[in-house]
Amino acid sequence: MTALQIIFLFVAAVTLASAVMVVSARRMMHAALWLVLSLAGVAVIFALLDAGFFTVVQVLVYIGAIAILIIFAIMLTRKAMEDVGPQLNRGWWLAALAAVGVFAGLAVVLVSWPGVNASAGAGPDANLIVTFGKDLVDPHKFVMPFEVASVMLLAALIGAIYVSVEHKGGQK
């Protein structure tokens, strides 16, 4: 077992344990902090897979923006849900059954898939980020997904502002 594998097993265990804490923590604020740890673990796994760019993006976008948004939402809606009483709904065992079933199905399919024993080829180019940047604005490559994603972000931004702003004059 190489050092890389030991690091992976450790990080994966931490990530999965904090993910379990996210879905089982009684206090929402604790769940949000566990979510930050889980996202950081995923960032480390991106780094182990030679995708350093996405490690940085993960830290910036998920931990820097989405986690902070979630913490804000928890603080703004704190009075609505006391941190006592059950946090899971009545059919939670059905949900657990569904999750375990999906996991078992995925595991069986993945293990029986013939391509699963592929070994990693050579690592990525050192210039991959440069190529990626050029491809994103290349009309023959990925300029369409890039622009569609930009428009979607803009629409989400405007929609979020419109939805969350308080309308004057009672019910609107």
Partner 1 sequence: MIPLPWLLVFAAALFCIGLFGVLARKNLVAILMGVELMLNAVNVNLIAFWRYFSAAGEDSTRAWTFVAVVLVAAAAEAAVGLALIISVYRRRKTVVADELNLMKG
Q: Does 35 bind partner 1 (CB under 8 A)?
A: yes
**Cβ–Cβ < 8 Å for 74, 47:** no
Please tell me the number of Cα atoms within 13 Å of 112 on its side-chain side.
6
Q: How many Å apart are CA 13 and CA 19, to the nearest integer?
A: 10
Cα(91)–Cα(76) distance, integer angstroms: 28
Answer for which of 14, 33, 53, 59 binds partner 1 (CB under 8 A) is 53
The binder of partner 1 chosen from 3, 84, 111, 126 (CB under 8 A)? 111
Place of tokens 């059954």: 97
Q: Is 91 in the site for partner 1 (CB under 8 A)?
A: yes
Q: Which of positions 67-86 make contact with partner 1 (CB under 8 A)?
A: 69-70, 72-74, 76-77, 80-81, 86
Residue 136 buriedness (CB in 10 A; 0-12 / 13-18 / 19+):
middle
Contact pick of 116, 139, 140, 169 for partner 1 (by CB under 8 A)? 116
- Note whether 56 binds partner 1 by CB under 8 A: no
Instruction: Pick the binder of partner 1 from 3, 84, 122, 126 (CB under 8 A).
Output: 122
Nearest distance from C-beta of residue 142 to partner 1, angstroms: 5
Cβ 31 to partner 1 shortest distance, Å: 6
Amino acid identity of residue 47, one-letter, is A
